[in-house]
C-alpha cells in the first residue's frame, strides 16, 4: 500500500503531466507553444498566463483541504509585502474588495478625529477609470470629488487638486495608476503632505511599475530608500507604485499582472496600525486579530472590557466595526505564490510588448494619438524624452492605449468593431467618464450632493469617446503582435 505522501506525490506528478498537455495556450508568449493562425486564433487583450507550477500548487493545496485562508495565504502576504517593500499585505477576494477595505480602514473610530473619514467628508478622485475605485467612497458615506484626466497619460490633472480641496472636509485622495502608468506621485504626495491627507493608491493595474524622483525631493516627503532590489544611482530615489501612499490595492483577476483567479490585496505601506483596521473590516468587523484556526494570540482572550460587553467576553466575538467577509481561499494563495515568482518576467514582457506595438505603429500619427508615461515629453525608438522635473516613471503596462484622432476617417467604435472582426481583443478605458454612466446619472438625480465635480471633464470625455487599448500581457506571442500591427496598418490604409 502506498503511503499518503507517496499518493500525493504521484497525484502531483500526474497533475503536472496533465497541465503540460492541456494548458499549452496559457504559457508565456515567448514559448509559442501553440501555432498561431492569423484571423482564426483570437488575440485576447488579456488572459491567464501560467504553467504546471500553478496547477500543481492549486491541487496540492486542495488535497491538504485547508480551504479557507491559511498557511498559503500567510506566506503569500509576506512574500508580496517583501517584493514591494511595504509593512504588510493583506489578501482579499478581489481588487474591488481591496478598495472597499482600504477606504473603510480610514473610517475607523480608532483614528484621531481629524484624520478619520466620516460621512459627508470628501475624497478627491479622478473622473475616468474603473467604477470600484470610486464606489467605496460613496459606500462609506463620503463624497467623491472628481477632477479631470489628462488624456495623454490617462491620469489625473494634478493642477486641479487645490481647486478640489475644502479645508477640514477633504480627508483623502484615492485614484488609480491608469493602465500601468503611474500618476504624478510627486505632485500628489506634496499636496497630501501640505494638507495632512491620506493617499490611497489603486495599484490594481500597475503592479511592478516604478516612480523615481530626485533624492532631495523624496527625502522632503519622508522617503529615504529605494524599493527592494532596485539599484541606487545616487541622484534618484525609486520605489514601486503602491508603496508611496498610506494604503494601496492590488487585483489578481486574470487580466492583471499576476492572477489567483479572483483575489486582491491591500498593502499597508508605512503605518502598521492600518493593518489592524483593514483586517478588521475584511474579517467581519471583529476586534480579534487571530488567524483562522488560532486562538488567544493576545494572551488575554477572556480578559477584555470593550464597549458595553461584560468583562471577559470572548475576544474572538467582539466587533469594533461593521465589516465584511472578504477573504480569498488558501488554494488561490497557493497559485498566487507561484505567480509571484514569475512576476519579474511578466513585468518585462509587458514593457517589451508595449514597445513592439509602439514601434510598429509609429508612423500612424495621422490617425492616432499615442499615450506617454507620466513625466515623458516624447517617444523615440531609442526611448522617452523626459521633463526637466527630474521625475520619471517606468511602466509595467496593463495595456497599450490609442486615441483615435478627431480628424481620422473612422471613429473609435468603427476601429474597435474592425479589430473584433479580425479576432483582436480591445477594451475601452473601463467606464470612461464615470459621470456619464447610468449609475452616477441616477445617483445625481436621487442625491444631488452625493458627489462634487471640479471644472469641465474634457479629458475624461475624450478618453471615453476616442480611446481604446490593446493587450500587453505576457501571453502575447511575436506572431500575435505582428498580426495586430499589420491589421491596424491595413485598416488605416483603407
CATH number assigned to the domain comprising residue 359: 3.90.1150.10
- pLDDT score recorded for residue 306: 87
- pLDDT score recorded for residue 125: 98
Q: Is the pTM of this model over 0.85?
A: yes
- 302 lies in the same domain as 400: no
Residue with the bigger pLDDT between 70 and 297: it is 70
- 311 lies in the same domain as 404: no
- 111 lies in the same domain as 252: yes
Q: Which of 278, 300, 318 is the last residue of a domain?
A: 318
- pLDDT score recorded for residue 30: 78
In a domain, 276, yes or no: yes
How far, in Å, CA of 369 to CA of 401, rounded? 9
Look up the domain containing 188 and give its range.
71-290
Q: Which of 131-135, 293-297, 415-419 has the lowest mean pLDDT?
A: 293-297
* Averaged pLDDT of the chain: 96
How far, in Å, CA of 277 to CA of 296, rounded? 19
Q: Which of 290, 305, 327 is the last residue of a domain?
A: 290
Confidence of residue 31 (pLDDT cuts 50, 70, 90): confident
Q: Which of 31-35, 190-194, 268-272, 467-471 has the lowest mean pLDDT?
A: 31-35
How far, in Å, CA of 361 to CA of 359, rounded? 6
Confidence of residue 291 (pLDDT cuts 50, 70, 90): confident
- Rg of the chain over Cα atoms, rounded to whole angstroms, equals 23
- pLDDT score recorded for residue 290: 82
Residue 32, pLDDT > 90, answer no
How far, in Å, CA of 56 to CA of 19, rounded? 8
- 309 lies in the same domain as 365: no
Residue 34, pLDDT > 90, answer no
- 130 lies in the same domain as 253: yes
Q: Which of 25-29, 290-294, 314-318, 386-390 has the lowest mean pLDDT?
A: 290-294
CATH number of the domain where residue 163 is located: 3.40.640.10
| Domain count for the chain | 3
- Reading the block at residue 261, the C-alpha cell is 483567479
- 379 lies in the same domain as 478: yes
- 271 lies in the same domain as 306: no
- pLDDT score recorded for residue 136: 98
In a domain, 41, yes or no: no
Rounded (5°) CA angle 446-452-458: 110
Known catalytic residue at 195: no
- 105 lies in the same domain as 215: yes
How far, in Å, CA of 183 to CA of 375, rounded? 9
How far, in Å, CA of 98 to CA of 145, rounded? 20
* pLDDT 10s digits, 371-428: 999 999 999 999 999 999 999 999 999 999 999 999 999 999 999 999 999 999 999 9
How far, in Å, CA of 481 to CA of 356, rounded? 7
Burial 71-101 (b: 16+ CB within 10 A, else e): ebbebbbebbbebbbbbbbbbbbbbbbbbbb
Q: What sign results for the dihedral spanned by CA atoms 27, 30, 33, 35?
A: positive
- 169 lies in the same domain as 295: no
In a domain, 405, yes or no: yes
How far, in Å, CA of 156 to CA of 148, rounded? 6
| Secondary structure of the chain as H, E, C letters | CCCHHHHHHHHHHHHHHHHHHHCHHHCCHHHCCCCCCCCCCCECCCCCCCCHHHHHHHHHHHHHCCCECCHHHHHHHHHHHHHHCCCEEEEECCHHHHHHHHHHHCCCCCCCCCCCCCCCCEEEEECECCHHHHHHHHHCCCEEEEECECCCCCCECHHHHHHHCCCCCEEEEEEECHHHCCCCHHHHHHHHHHHCCEEEEECCCCCCCEEEEEHHHHHHCCCCCCCCCCCCCCCEEEEECCCCCCEEEEECCCCCCCCCCCCEEEEECCCCHHHHHHHHHHECCECCCCCCCCCCCCCCCCCCCCCCCCCCCCHHHCECCCCCECCCEHHHHHHHHHHHHHHHHHHHHHHHHHHHHHHHCCCCCCCEEECCCCCEEEEECCEEEECCCCCEEECCCCEEEEEECCCCCCCHHHHHHHHHHCCECCECCCCCEHHHCHHHHHHHHHCCCCCEECCCCHHHHHHHHHEEEEECCCCCCHHHHHHHHHHHHHHHCC
Q: Which of 88, 236, 256, 375 is catalytic?
A: 256
In a domain, 339, yes or no: no
Q: Decide if 182 contacts 206 (C-beta within 8 A).
A: yes
Q: Decide if 100 contacts 111 (C-beta within 8 A).
A: no
- Reading the block at residue 123, the C-alpha cell is 475624497
Confidence of residue 35 (pLDDT cuts 50, 70, 90): confident
In a domain, 256, yes or no: yes
The crossing angle, in degrees rounded to 10, of helices 52-64 and 330-360 is 160
* pLDDT 10s digits, 229-288: 999 999 999 999 999 999 999 999 999 999 999 999 999 999 999 999 999 999 999 998
- 105 lies in the same domain as 244: yes
In a domain, 35, yes or no: no
- 254 lies in the same domain as 393: no
How far, in Å, CA of 468 to CA of 476, rounded? 18
- Reading the block at residue 204, the C-alpha cell is 490594481
Residue 98, pLDDT > 80, answer yes
Confidence of residue 477 (pLDDT cuts 50, 70, 90): very high
- pLDDT score recorded for residue 332: 98
- Reading the block at residue 155, the C-alpha cell is 491620469
In a domain, 59, yes or no: no
- 387 lies in the same domain as 314: no
How far, in Å, CA of 304 to CA of 299, rounded? 10
In a domain, 471, yes or no: yes
How much is the average pLDDT of 136-141?
Answer: 98
Q: What sign results for the dihedral spanned by CA atoms 231, 236, 242, 247?
A: positive
Q: Decide if 423 contacts 43 (C-beta within 8 A).
A: yes
Measuring CA to CA, which residue among 125, 109, 106 is closest to residue 117? Answer: 106
How far, in Å, CA of 226 to CA of 212, rounded? 9
* pLDDT 10s digits, 443-456: 999 999 999 999 99
Amino acid at each position: 500500500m502506498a503511503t499518503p505522501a507517496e499518493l500525493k506525490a504521484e497525484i502531483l506528478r500526474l497533475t503536472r503531466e496533465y497541465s503540460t498537455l492541456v494548458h499549452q495556450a496559457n504559457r508565456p508568449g515567448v514559448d509559442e507553444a501553440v501555432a498561431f493562425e492569423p484571423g482564426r486564433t483570437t488575440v485576447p487583450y488579456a488572459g491567464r498566463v501560467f504553467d504546471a507550477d500553478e496547477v500543481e500548487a492549486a491541487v496540492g493545496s486542495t488535497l491538504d483541504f485547508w480551504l479557507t485562508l491559511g498557511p498559503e495565504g500567510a506566506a503569500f502576504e509576506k512574500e508580496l509585502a517583501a517584493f514591494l517593500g511595504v509593512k504588510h499585505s493583506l489578501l482579499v477576494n478581489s481588487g474591488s474588495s481591496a478598495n472597499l477595505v482600504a477606504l473603510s480602514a480610514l473610517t475607523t473610530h480608532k483614528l484621531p478625529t481629524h484624520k478619520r473619514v466620516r460621512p459627508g467628508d470628501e475624497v478627491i478622485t479622478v473622473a475616468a477609470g474603473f467604477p470600484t475605485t470610486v464606489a467605496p467612497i460613496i459606500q462609506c458615506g463620503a463624497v467623491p470629488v472628481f477632477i479631470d484626466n489628462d488624456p495623454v497619460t490617462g491620469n489625473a490633472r494634478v493642477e486641479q487638486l487645490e481647486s478640489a480641496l475644502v479645508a477640514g472636509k477633504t480627508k483623502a485622495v484615492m485614484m488609480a495608476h491608469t493602465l500601468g502608468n503611474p500618476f504624478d506621485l510627486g505632485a500628489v504626495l506634496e499636496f497630501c503632505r501640505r494638507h495632512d491627507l491620506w493617499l490611497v493608491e489603486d495599484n490594481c493595474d500597475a503592479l511592478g511599475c516604478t516612480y523615481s524622483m530626485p533624492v532631495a525631493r523624496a527625502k522632503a516627503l519622508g522617503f529615504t530608500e529605494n524599493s527592494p532590489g532596485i539599484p541606487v544611482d545616487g541622484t534618484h530615489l525609486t520605489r514601486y507604485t503602491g508603496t508611496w501612499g498610506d494604503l494601496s490595492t492590488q487585483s489578481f483577476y486574470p487580466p492583471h499582472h499576476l492572477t489567483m483567479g479572483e483575489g486582491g490585496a491591500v498593502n499597508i505601506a508605512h503605518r502598521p496600525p492600518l493593518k489592524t483596521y483593514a483586517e478588521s473590516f475584511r474579517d467581519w468587523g471583529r476586534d480579534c486579530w487571530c488567524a483562522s484556526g488560532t486562538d488567544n494570540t493576545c494572551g488575554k482572550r477572556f480578559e477584555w472590557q470593550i464597549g458595553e460587553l461584560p468583562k471577559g467576553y470572548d475576544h474572538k466575538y467582539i466587533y469594533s466595526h461593521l465589516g465584511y467577509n472578504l477573504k480569498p481561499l488558501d488554494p488561490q494563495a497557493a497559485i498566487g505564490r507561484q505567480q509571484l515568482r514569475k512576476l519579474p518576467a511578466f513585468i518585462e514582457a509587458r514593457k517589451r510588448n508595449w514597445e513592439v506595438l509602439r514601434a510598429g505603429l509609429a508612423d500612424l500619427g495621422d490617425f492616432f494619438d499615442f499615450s506617454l508615461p507620466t513625466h515623458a515629453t516624447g517617444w523615440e525608438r531609442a526611448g522617452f524624452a523626459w521633463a526637466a522635473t527630474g521625475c520619471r516613471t517606468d511602466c509595467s503596462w496593463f495595456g497599450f492605449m490609442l486615441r483615435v484622432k478627431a480628424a481620422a476617417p473612422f471613429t473609435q467604435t468603427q476601429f474597435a468593431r474592425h479589430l473584433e472582426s479580425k479576432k483582436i481583443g480591445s477594451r475601452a478605458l473601463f467606464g470612461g467618464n464615470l459621470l456619464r454612466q447610468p449609475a452616477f446619472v441616477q445617483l445625481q438625480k436621487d442625491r444631488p450632493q452625493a458627489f462634487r465635480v471640479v471644472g469641465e471633464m474634457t479629458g475624461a470625455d475624450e478618453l471615453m469617446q476616442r480611446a481604446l487599448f490593446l493587450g500587453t500581457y505576457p501571453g502575447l506571442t511575436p506572431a500575435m503582435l505582428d498580426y495586430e500591427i499589420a491589421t491596424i496598418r491595413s485598416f488605416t490604409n483603407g
